[in-house]
Amino acid sequence: MSLRDEAAELDMRDPLAGKRAEFDVDPDLSYLDGNSLGAPPRGVAPRLAEVVGEQWGRRLIRSWDEGWWDAPERIGDRIAPLVGAAPGQVVVGDSTTVNLFKALVAGVRLNPDRPEILLDAATFPTDGYIAESAARLTGHRVRRVPVREMASAVSSRTALALVNHVDYVTGELHDLPVVTEALHSAGALAVWDLCHSAGAVPVPLDAAGVDLAVGCTYKFLNGGPGAPAFLYVARKWLDVFDQPLSGWAGHADPFGMTPSYAGGTGIRRGRTGTPDILSMLALDAALDVWDDVTIDQVRAKGLALGEFFLRCLDELVPDADVVTPRSRGNQISVRRPDAKATMGELIARGVIGDYRPPDVLRFGLAALYVRYADVLRAAEELRALR
């Protein structure tokens, strides 16, 4: 059987094949960049039209009491099962960067008299920027450590460690339970960045005893450009979670207008300012695509897509320098000296991925809408550009 025939057979037998129809994706494109920006679910546009035309346009300020104000917690509870969390521990709002700041400052407050923050050495840049900023404000020192060395690097001086679940360049999937256990064994807290794993791979936050986590919603959760991020606080910390951005939305009585701050109960303590309702409710609509599918199904297809893509590369581009290890998220990365120019050519040919400096092509395998034919096409176009 040829690769093309095999791709057709796999797409025909794919139990998630029908999900692609729920997305507004150009049928002539092979979109392999859902690890940067997810494709729009078709239900988002009509929902936003209703929000603007009816909730905002007709109900006006009354809509705050008709579902707007509680949206951050309600939508957080929709995301919770996708990251292995029980209800009441996830809140949506602000950006990943802002939530990282909240988590890091609150985390060192939860674990005082420990002067060190460990940082994933290969972290996404903003994590490092925010960690350094939080450390300056709290009197801590940041030490960058490869994830594989976390267990030996953590000590009684470590307040917490900030770790990326999936490496954003290589796509490597780190062992969240094992790393978390190693950190806890030394008395340190575990803070995880889930931006490249939420909606792509199972994330056992509660089961692994993770303390704090953050993640974005515009990648594999398809919330749209700039969609609000989420913050996870383990139940054991909810009553004492003392985040630094004590805005009115996190107040116990936000409409009481009292001059002093009193944190709300539960995950509300993670809120800061007025929720961004239009993007918040666009995300709410986007999450409807998960109503009849599980993260385990998505993971199974993501792995199968990756295996097929690797076989296509082996046969069609045998000299391809694949940098993604076997333990991976739903992403395949290929090193190529002319990566930026190559990706520009691929995009011109209808295969949309992205690249990361200096020399890595990234192909995201968003299982809800990526087809086996798409990854075969990517390999074929790479061969044509050799």
User: Considering 362, 363, 371, 374, which one is annotated as catalytic?
Assistant: 362
Active site residue 74: no
User: Considering 23, 31, 101, 218, which one is annotated as catalytic?
Assistant: 218
User: Considering 124, 168, 241, 355, which one is annotated as catalytic?
Assistant: 124
Active site residue 193: yes
Active site residue 308: no
pLDDT tens digit sequence for 106-117? 999 999 999 999
Nearest-angstrom CA–CA distance, 7 and 168: 27
To the nearest 10 degrees (0 to 180), the angle between helices 372-384 and 339-348 is: 120
Active site residue 372: no
Q: What is the mean pLDDT of residues 219-244?
A: 97
Q: Residue 245's pLDDT is what?
A: 97
Q: Give the domain ranges of the chain.
A: 3-31+293-384, 47-290
The amino acid at residue 150 is M
Q: What is the mean pLDDT of residues 77-82?
A: 98
Q: Residue 256's pLDDT is what?
A: 93
pLDDT tens digit sequence for 95-105? 999 999 999 99
Nearest-angstrom CA–CA distance, 93 and 237: 19
Domain 3-31+293-384: give its CATH architecture: Alpha-Beta Complex (3.90)
Active site residue 129: no
Q: What is the mean pLDDT of residues 286-304?
A: 98
pLDDT tens digit sequence for 318-359? 999 999 999 999 999 999 999 999 999 999 999 999 999 999
Do residues 272 and 351 touch, judged by C-beta distance below 8 A? no
Nearest residue to 283 (alpha-carbon basis) of 114, 95, 54: 95
Produce one character per residue of 144-163: b if its CB has 16 or more CB atoms within 10 Å, e if not: ebebeebeebbeebbbbbbb
Domain 47-290: give its CATH architecture: 3-Layer(aba) Sandwich (3.40)
On the question of a cis peptide bond just before residue 228, with omega within 30 degrees of 0, the verdict is no
User: Considering 94, 127, 193, 284, which one is annotated as catalytic?
Assistant: 193
For the cut 90, the answer to whether the pLDDT of residue 386 exceeds it is no
pLDDT tens digit sequence for 174-206? 999 999 999 999 999 999 999 999 999 999 999
User: Considering 219, 268, 269, 301, which one is annotated as catalytic?
Assistant: 219
